[in-house]
Amino acid sequence: MSVAVEEFGSFKGERVDQFKLRSDTGVEVDLISWGVLVRDWRVPVAGGMRSVVLGFDQFESYPAASPYFGSLAGRVANRIRNGTFTLDGETYTVTPNFLGHALHGGPEGIGRLVWDGEADSANTSVRFTLDSPDGAMGFPGNVRFTATYTLIGHRLRLDITAKADRRTPINVVQHQYFNLGTGADVLDHSYRIPASAYTELGEQLIPTGAILPVDGTIWDFRKGRTMRDTAGKPIDYDGNLVLDTDRQFDEPVAVVTGPNRALTLKLWTDRPGLQVYNSVTTNVSAEGKTFGHHCGFCLEDQDLPDAVNHPYFPSTIYGQDRDYSHRVDIEIA
């Protein structure tokens, strides 16, 4: 077990570090301090090592071209309708960056900033911290974010906390793009997610506020399915599943198997929702690499999207009387 640290680049005059974690089972994970980003994740397979996440080799490609590859997203991940919400009688506007709405905390959310990182080689972990000031992207309150990645065997654990000095919305997600196979798309992976409901979407992927059963829809992953319809045509996914409330943390909320069955991903979370996204809009070229339609899948464990504008969704408001705490474990073997 080890953690090695090296300079990876700079962003607006701040040094960006890379932390290279290696477990006793031979798994290797590279993290960078810009956005607490999982730059690469390599897993032993027959014949060598396989990279299971999408990313770049050079730092400059991330701020220039990355669609949140591997980063944390927030302060409030997913969409906020029209970039506005009302809290304690005051209306706030978050800088819009998606069709007039706010996406993943605005154009300079926490996933596009440099965090402080501290390596812990004894536990194969890195602890990142960021102080987000009052008014950042339009959000109220000073917030101290802490994110700790720990590599244990084949499992990568992420613990996120946030302490705010006044009431403010917080919803942070890990935004890794996975591909467990060797092909250019993830349509023929097998996805099993035991969720019975989903949040209905209206125009521009904004939730209507309705929570509907998955029965008979493309959102029914309970028995396992690919991302193709019965005729074999690709299905686009970019929506939120509502996870069953009676589950225990030791029950994975998603199990994904690669098309050659060499690798299986399991995800555990304490969040109520899971955004399923299969690179619907991805079209990125950099460093001689091309990442196109359906190149990867994201499983973004989260609070329900646009909860600040839907009072019947579980609250995402935190403050001096309530700290934010979030845990997700992902195992690939």
Residues assigned a catalytic role: 175, 300
Q: Which of 319, 326, 329, 20 is nearest to 146 (CA)?
A: 326
Residue type, 177: Y
Q: What are phi and psi of 267, to 5 degrees?
A: -130, 130
HSE toward the beta carbon, residue 197, CA cutoff 13 A: 13
- Please identify which residue in the block is written with the tokens 């690919």: 226
Measured CA to CA, the distance from residue 30 to residue 44 in angstroms comes to 15
Q: Which of 138, 147, 110, 170 is nearest to 319 (CA)?
A: 170
Residue 212 burial (C-beta neighbours within 10 Å; 0-12, 13-18, 19+): middle
Measured CA to CA, the distance from residue 88 to residue 32 in angstroms comes to 37
Six-digit token string for 196: 């019975």
- Please identify which residue in the block is written with the tokens 């399923």: 276
